[in-house]
Every structure is written in structure tokens, then in C-alpha cells.
Amino acid sequence: MERLPHGKYTKELRLEAVRLVTEGGLSVPEASQRLSLPKSTLANWLRAFKAGKLERIGANQRPLTEEELELARTKRELARVRMERDILKKAAAYFAQGSLHGTR
């Protein structure tokens, strides 16, 4: 997946990426891979979040274009859908394994 240009991340994307790690139970490498972010960028956002300074990151940047915003929204949605797919795969495998043991 192609990454956004350096420093062109929306506040919403930064917050969602941090939530994947803090509330979603993902590691920094997993979340950064799912969102096509550099690991160091996500680690910096996580440190800033813990220090209460996440909102100040990127305050001096130019506004994103409509295309850049759409791409960021699409990436967020894709990351969410992939996470849901992975959960469903694991659940299906778990229940399939359980049903095989019951028939033998």
C-alpha cells in the first residue's frame, strides 16, 4: 500500500492509529502495517498521546486536499474491515475445530 506523503496525516488518522494500539490490543508494528504507517511515526504518536500532546502534532501543516482526505478515510475503513475479517477467520477456524472434535 502507498503511504501518505510525510507529515500529511489527519488528526483523525493519528487518533485512530493510537486507538488501535491502546484499545484495540494491537502492537505498534501490527497497527503500523495495517495502516501503512512507519513504525517510528506511530510510536511517536503513542508517546505524544501518553504525554497528552497528540493534538498539537501537525498543527502547523497545510490543510489536506479532498483526495488526500478521501485516501485517509479509505485506509481507515480498509484497516477496520481487515481487522473484522481476521476476527471472523479466527472465529470460523475455532468453531470448525470444535465441531470436528465432536464428530469423532
Give the model confidence (pLDDT) of 15-50 as tens digits. Answer: 889 999 999 889 999 998 888 889 999 999 999 889
Measured distance CA(99)–CA(89) in Å, rounded? 15
Q: Is the dihedral of CA 28, 33, 36, 40 positive or negative?
A: positive
- DSSP run (H or E) holding 42: helix 39-50
Measured distance CA(104)–CA(101) in Å, rounded? 6
Measured distance CA(104)–CA(54) in Å, rounded? 54
Question: At 80, is the pLDDT very low, low, confident or very high (cuts 50, 70, 90)?
Answer: very high
When the pLDDT of each residue in the chain is averaged and rounded to a whole number, the result is: 84
> How large is the average pLDDT for residues 52-64?
74
